[in-house]
Amino acid sequence: MDLENKKEKAQELPMGSSHMPDQKVQEVLKETQKILEVLSREELSPEEKAWVYKSTMDGYQNHVNPGIMEYRKSVSTDYTSIEWSDYGNAFTDINGRKYIDLLGGFGIYNVGHRHPKVIKAVLDQLKRQALHSQELLEPFRAMLAKIVGDLTPGDLQYSFFGNSGAEAVEGAMKLAILHTGRKSFIAAVGGFHGKTMGALSATAKARFRQPFLPILPDCYHTPFGDAEAVEDVLKSADMVGNDIAAVILEPIQGEGGINVPPDDYLPRVRDLCDRYGALLILDEVQTGMGRTGRMFACEHWNVIPDILCLGKSFGGGVMPIGAFISNKTIWEHLFQEPWLHSTTFGGNPLACVAAIAGIHVLLEEKLPERAERMGNYIIQKLKSLRRRFSKLCVDVRGKGLMIGMEFPSDEIGYEVAKGLFDDGVLVAGTLFNAKTLRIEPPLTITQQEVDKALGVIEKIFKEVNTKHFPDRVPVRR
Ligand SMILES: Cc1ncc(COP(=O)(O)O)c(C=O)c1O
């Protein structure tokens, strides 16, 4: 039903009527029936593909956000690519075109797309119960919390499960306020923690924050990697009585451009937090679950946070689930009033069994170790490409399978991403810019897939380099 038609129909309704007109009911029934049929098909006919295509375009244009269509045009070669299916380390669009996934859903698919063990766990649970009653005790929530306690470093023991990374950060910030009785935070320039109001205070991009200021007014941003700057703020906040509840950091910044801090940064911040009575919240929504070559990135520096945030691939690449985890002393604030923080879908059985299966796969297939090995291989190959195309690619950095390639401008970054997409390899910029393209494939990616993708990267580098730096003949080393 088009918009004009919809307005006219609305006017036909008698005042105060809450019933949909019959014609509208029939239209929605017809439409939902068609969707259910298409959904059940193994193969779509050309007519069905055309219908999905048109419905998607119309839906984005009129009911989601037409701005996204413009954005898509700049990241993919043409915006007719509609995602349809995925498996292993690749996804396939509605026209059957297969793409090697070097983006990994910004870090969702650590165990690959639709890992059979995760799918089986979810289907097994689905046959028994989908969502929880809200009143009875939920077994898989309890079991997952125990496993997370075993898996995480130090004395982290209690978990709260929500539905996203931002929610995990919100909960962590609230818990820090509860525990310390303080209201201010220190975050890092280039940090990303989500877009809900609390998490957005810690997120560092002006474009996302400015329309909503003052959000949480006392959230200070210090340069990432600079422990002295953290100390300066802790000291002055202490002197003016505006004490800091927590320092919140990503161990390696994702959206800010894959920034790895100096080795002494996190240990020094840990020490400063202890000295000034602030908590350390580590946001491992993107770096967690094996991504950087350790189960949690903080293990690279032997730093144990007071509160740890998880999300993205925590759900085994199949279900959305986030978590914040802390120790008993801090969690005790919630013992008396457990409903001080709650959410309807948090800790639902489908999400919890997906997370349990995901953890099982990570350990059984030794995926953190694999991430380290594959990551070293890719970084070394990309660095050698960077030496050959030194004007085009100005930096390669990362840890494990969290890798960034930096270009001189957003435009060149986009061009490389477009070229790769055209040749069947998906990468993307970060939420902050397209200057840095990230490589965050499933940790299950095979040697063959990596070599194929690296071959495509080399080809696109050559093409974009010839266009922008024709005087610069790459040297083969
Ligand atoms: C480090 C980090 N924290 C939090 C978030 C927010 O997670 P979500 O998008 O699930 O709310 C993200 C998302 O990219 C992230 O990378």
Q: Are residues 353 and 474 in the same domain?
A: no
**Best mutation site among 203, 250, 285 for ligand 1 pocket (most ligand atoms within 8 Å of CB):** 285
DSSP 8-state symbol, 191: -
**Best mutation site among 170, 173, 192 for ligand 1 pocket (most ligand atoms within 8 Å of CB):** 192
Whether 19 maps to a domain, the answer reads no
Nearest CA to ligand 1 atom 3: 193
Tokens of 459: 């080809």
Strand-pair partners of 162? 322
Residues with C-beta less than 6 Å from any ligand 1 atom: 106, 164-166, 169, 192-194, 250, 254-255, 283, 285-286, 311
Whether 22 maps to a domain, the answer reads no
Tens-digit pLDDT profile for residues 115-164: 999 999 999 999 999 999 998 999 999 999 999 999 999 999 999 999 99
For the chain, what's the residue count? 477
Burial of 475: CB neighbours in 10 Å, binned 0-12, 13-18, 19+: exposed
Whether 9 maps to a domain, the answer reads no
Query: How many Å apart are CA 295 and CA 307, to the nearest integer?
Result: 16
Q: If you measure from the C-alpha of residue 254 to the centroid of ligand 1, how many angstroms do you get, rounded to a whole number?
A: 9
Tens-digit pLDDT profile for residues 72-82: 654 555 556 88
Angular region, 449: left φ>0, alpha ψ -120 to 50, beta rest: alpha
Q: Are residues 270 and 390 in the same domain?
A: no
Residue type, 414: Y
Query: Mean per-residue pLDDT for 460-471?
Result: 92
Strand-pair partners of 283? 309
**Residue 79 CB contacts under 8 Å (≥ 6 apart), including other chains:** 69, 72, 73
Tens-digit pLDDT profile for residues 243-254: 999 999 999 999
Query: How many Å apart are CA 362 and CA 236, to the nearest integer?
Result: 43
In this predicted structure, what is the pLDDT of residue 87? 94
Containing 85, the helix (H) or strand (E) segment is strand 83-87
Nearest CA to ligand 1 atom 7: 165
In angstroms, how far is the first alpha carbon of the chain from the final one?
60
Whether 52 maps to a domain, the answer reads no
DSSP 8-state symbol, 47: H
Q: Are residues 166 and 306 in the same domain?
A: yes
* Residue indicated by tokens 């499933």: 442
Tens-digit pLDDT profile for residues 378-431: 999 999 999 999 999 999 999 999 999 999 998 899 899 999 999 999 998 876
Q: Give the model's confidence band at 8: pLDDT under 50 very low, under 70 low, under 90 confident, else very high.
A: low
Q: Are residues 378 and 248 in the same domain?
A: no
> The domain spanning residue 144 has which CATH number?
3.40.640.10
Q: Are residues 74 and 141 in the same domain?
A: no
Query: How many Å apart are CA 159 and CA 136, to the nearest integer?
Result: 18
Could you list the residue range(s) of the whole structural domain that residue 424 is in?
66-107+366-477
Collapsing DSSP to helix, strand or coil, 73 comes out as helix
Q: How many domains does the chain have?
A: 2
Query: How many Å apart are CA 24 and CA 355, to the nearest integer?
Result: 40
Q: Are residues 88 and 138 in the same domain?
A: no
Query: How many Å apart are CA 282 and CA 154, to the nearest integer?
Result: 13
Q: Are residues 214 and 233 in the same domain?
A: yes
Whether 33 maps to a domain, the answer reads no
> The domain spanning residue 83 has which CATH number?
3.90.1150.10
Whether 26 maps to a domain, the answer reads no
Give the closest residue to 464 by CA, choosing from 404, 422, 426. 422
Whether 159 maps to a domain, the answer reads yes
Whether 408 maps to a domain, the answer reads yes
CA angle at residue 214 from 210 to 218, to 5 degrees?
Answer: 120
Q: Are residues 121 and 82 in the same domain?
A: no
- For ligand 1, what atom is nearest to the CA of residue 311? 10
Cβ atoms of 57 and 81 within 8 Å: the answer is no
In this predicted structure, what is the pLDDT of residue 433? 73
Q: Give the model's confidence band at 11: pLDDT under 50 very low, under 70 low, under 90 confident, else very high.
A: low
Tokens of 283: 């946001």
Q: Give the model's confidence band at 10: pLDDT under 50 very low, under 70 low, under 90 confident, else very high.
A: low
**Best mutation site among 167, 193, 196, 314 for ligand 1 pocket (most ligand atoms within 8 Å of CB):** 193
Which of 332, 364, 396 is a domain's end point? 364
Q: Are residues 262 and 340 in the same domain?
A: yes
Q: Are residues 271 and 373 in the same domain?
A: no
Radius of gyration of the CA atoms of the chain, in A: 24
Q: Cα-flanking dihedrals φ and ψ of residue 81, to 5°?
A: -80, 110
Give, in order, the Cα–Cα distances in Å from 302 to each of 135, 283, 294, 467: 39, 15, 11, 46
Which of 318, 336, 364 is a domain's end point? 364
Q: Are residues 137 and 89 in the same domain?
A: no
10 vs 340, which has greater pLDDT?
340
Q: Are residues 348 and 371 in the same domain?
A: no
Which of 345, 364, 383 is a domain's end point? 364
